Structure 1
């Protein structure tokens, strides 16, 4: 599976970057596969029950995998580089693709890595600026930030990479949850993920805030934001995980943790002082902060080295799922054991509890042990994204 990190690295609205999915690890080989159909038919189905087609706009933005240019998809399916000249008199680029007046809408998806955004009731505001390398770059929506121009707009997204070895895609709640979306990927298999049952949207918004520590994460009826972003905005405690981290550090001072990376290797580690030391060439992993846990970053950052990266990712998942005190053999694979400690990622817990297949991307390494709302296919024929009933 392709690992992914929070889009834009979980940073502010001013950050300039492209989607990380597909860029962190080599794609797996598919036996007997053929090249994907490109362009790949993308069908948008509106079953929201809250907004008609005329009130919904689609945006497909990301990076051209051949040139590295930041691009957007035009209504005719062409991959077009973004340009500062795209910014209108209001300072924003209108890359909106309207839905058909009624029924489903089918677009052509070119080979690229990016995001499919949905805006409900009002168009999103993208801005083309000069990136750090001097090339045109997009400022993406960061709706959880109250100063972002998209803060008051209902919007959400799915992520994807379409390239010669297949299609990789997921729904995501790593930054926030606002609009229920599901993905159906048809090809060598017929796979669906991300479906929130009817009525589930309000169950998610209210369910997250039922926990007093997470109550500040709901932004009216617009969305519920991830606790890491809440921490950065002053709406979530920066010490929330500290007591759990202390317990983990105490436990593995005197015992060993085994980490199976799923490729035939098992790494064994023990804590000395502020460092988790593993054998097998794993770089020392420092004592994480609450923010490190929530973003799976900092001390828990996972480099794409095939050694330290997988171990750090599994540790990050173990902290978010609060299973490190109970299981000395990681990763945990029984979802019934997840999120049972008083200190846990309640946001991710609620996301998983309100999807039909129990899968969600509630934090950056929710793909550990296969619990993310992620599907891939080496011979894709079509993808359908549905705005499911609220």
Structure 2
């Protein structure tokens, strides 16, 4: 049973990586019977063929505290400050991504959230009183409407 769960997890990550154009690859997952560490490595390889700067974001809800926030490249979680009405700019949570043909490894913490990446420009995240306002490309007035970006959802827990 544990072997099939590990296989299913690895297969799901492979599908997510394929959907992201090969941009993300997960480091070696822990053994099925091993304790899950506070962070795990995520290697980001830029095989896009684009010369644009890549920006990476690790955003979500901490499974330790229940707070919404972001993680830096070392995997340290930072809770979002209070939002407002109208929504106020969020702190810059971007992590510089690798240049074309290069790789970089970051640490991702125990979160349930998304790993965003954008090409050329940083994403504009806002905070409302209820939390983070996600980009909405279907909305022509969204400040991220003309930025090439995507995301993959993940949950890392025990």
By the TM > 0.5 criterion, same fold? yes
Q: State whether residues 93 and 128 of structure 1, in contact with CA within 8 Å, keep that contact through their aligned partners in structure 2.
A: no
Aligned to 1:143: 137
Aligned to 2:5: none
Counterparts of 1:49 and 1:116, CA distance in 2? 20
Aligned to 1:155: 149
TM-score of the two chains, using structure 2 as the length reference: 0.70
5 Å-filtered alignment, 1:152-191, equals 152-164=146-158
Give the aligned length: 125
SS across alignment from 2:33: coil
Aligned to 1:114: 113
5 Å-filtered alignment, 1:320-335, equals none
* Residues 1:69 and 2:67 are matched in the alignment: yes
Q: State whether residues 77 and 107 of structure 1, in contact with CA within 8 Å, keep that contact through their aligned partners in structure 2.
A: yes
Q: Give the C-alpha shift of residue 75 in structure 1.
A: 2.7
Q: Which runs of 5+ in 2 are unaligned?
A: 1-7, 10-31
SS across alignment from 1:107: strand
Q: State whether residues 74 and 95 of structure 1, in contact with CA within 8 Å, keep that contact through their aligned partners in structure 2.
A: yes
In proportion to residue count, which structure has more strand? Answer: 2
Which has the higher Rg, Structure 1 or Structure 2? 1
Aligned to 1:98: 96
Aligned to 2:51: 51
Q: State whether residues 126 and 133 of structure 2, in contact with CA within 8 Å, keep that contact through their aligned partners in structure 1.
A: yes
Q: Give the C-alpha shift of residue 38 in structure 1.
A: 3.2
Q: State whether residues 93 and 125 of structure 1, in contact with CA within 8 Å, keep that contact through their aligned partners in structure 2.
A: no
